[in-house]
Amino acid sequence: MEGKKRKIGSSIIFSHGDSDGICSASIAKNAFYHSDVYFTSPVNLLDKLNSMSEGYDNIIICDIAVDERTHEALFEKINELCEVSNVYYIDHHPIPYSTWGGEWFYHDENVCTSEIAYQTFEAMLGRDIRRVSIYGAIGDYADNTSRIKEWCRDWDKRALYFQAGTLVQATIFVGRDHNIKRKIVDNLSKDILPSEIPKLLNYAKKASLLEEELRLYVKKNVISMSLVSYVINAKGYMSKSAIYAASYGKTPIGVSAEYRDKKDVYDLSLRSRNGIDINIITRKASKFAGGTGGGHPMAAGARIPSNMLEKFLTQLNKLAERYDSFNGVN
C-alpha cells in the first residue's frame, strides 16, 4: 500500500457529519485504519469524550467547532486525555479564545478541515488520498486555496466536481443516519469513488429532487426582516433552506430553523452573503437568547430554546444592522 507505515493501535474518530467532516474522517481513517468512527456536534463533543468506554491510543477530532459554553471543560478534558493518548484536534472554525489550543490542535481558518487532515497525517498517507481532501474542499466552498488548486491539476476537475457533488447531495439526503455515514467513511478511506459507493448516486438524485421541492416551499413561506430572512420547519436541508431564504427574502442573511421536539429547541442554519460576519453576530445573538451558536464568517449554526427563537431572530437582525465590516458589531 502506498504511503509510510501507519501507527497501529486502537483509535477513535469524532467528526462533524457534513461532507468536509466525512472527508476529514475518511483521511484520518486511512491513516488509522483500526478506528471507530462517531459523528457529533460542538454541543455534544465533551459528553462524547467523557463517555468513552475504553482507552484509545489515538483520539482524532475533525471539523468540530469549539463550543462557547463548554470550551473550558473541553480544554481540560483534552489535556487530560493527552496524558494517555495521542490527541489530534483538527479544525478550521474561528476560535474566539486566544489561549485555547496546544500541540494537539491543528487549526487553520483559511482552509477546510479535509485539507488540514491530509497535511497532519501526510507521512502516513498515500498521494492519491488527496482526492478525498479535494471533495471536502469543494463541499465546504474551500477549493480556492493554493494547495487544493495544485492538487486538482492531477485529476480532471470536471470529474472531481461530479464526485464531490454526488457526495454532498448524498450526505445531505442521509441526514442523521450515522450508520450510512460510517459506511461512506469506510469506502472513502479506501479511495473508492463516491459514485461507486453503493446507493450514493441514488441518494444524490433523490436529494436533488427534494431540494427543488424545498426551494419552492421556501419561496412561498419565507419571512423577511430588514437584513434577515428566515423560514421555519421547512422539513428539508437546513443549509440549503438558509441559502434560499436569503435569496427569496432578498436580504444579506438567511436562516433556516427546525424544531426538535425531544429537546424543545430550534436548530438553525445561517448563511451570509454580503460580508456580514455571521459567526460573530450568531454567537452574540445566541448568548442573548440563552442558546449556543457560531461557525464561519459566511456560514454558522445555532441551537436556541424554542421560546426564545423570536428574540434570537430579532437580536440577530439588530446586530446585522449595527455591523461594521472593520470593527464588527458596534
Measure the CA–CA gap between 170 and 211, rounded to whole angstroms: 12
What is the structure's pLDDT at 6? 43
Report the alpha-carbon distance of residue 58 to residue 264 in Å, rounded: 35
- Cα–Cα distance for residue pair 44/41, rounded to 1 Å: 5
Q: What is the pLDDT of residues 45-71, one digit of tens each?
A: 999 999 987 789 999 999 999 988 889
First-residue to last-residue Cα distance in the chain:
55
pLDDT at 295: 86
Residue range 67-79: mean pLDDT, rounded: 91
Model pLDDT for residues 251-275, shown as the tens digit of each residue:
999 999 999 999 999 999 999 998 8
Work out the average pLDDT over 10-14.
Answer: 96
pLDDT at 9 over 80: no
Whether the model pTM is above 0.85: no
Query: Residue 326: its pLDDT value, please?
Result: 54
Cα 94 to Cα 312: distance, rounded to the nearest angstrom: 21
Q: How far is CA 111 from CA 108, 140, 276, in A?
A: 6, 9, 19
Mean pLDDT, rounded, for 194-209:
96
State the pLDDT at residue 53: 74
Q: Is the confidence at residue 151, as pLDDT, over 60?
A: yes
Residue 324 has pLDDT above 80, yes or no: no
3-class SS at 257? strand
Domains within the chain, CATH numbers bracketed = 11-202 (3.90.1640.30), 222-328 (3.10.310.40)
Residue predicted with more confidence, 52 or 289: 289
Task: Look at residue 298 and tell me whether its pLDDT is greater than 50.
Answer: yes
The conformation of residue 235, written as its DSSP 8-state character, comes to -
Is pLDDT of 109 > 70?
yes
Q: What's the pLDDT at 189?
A: 98
The C-alpha cell that represents 271 in the structure block: 448563511
Q: What is the reported pLDDT for 325?
A: 62
* Rg (alpha carbons) of the chain, rounded to whole number: 19
pLDDT at 236: 77
The confidence band for 322, taking pLDDT boundaries of 50, 70 and 90, is very high
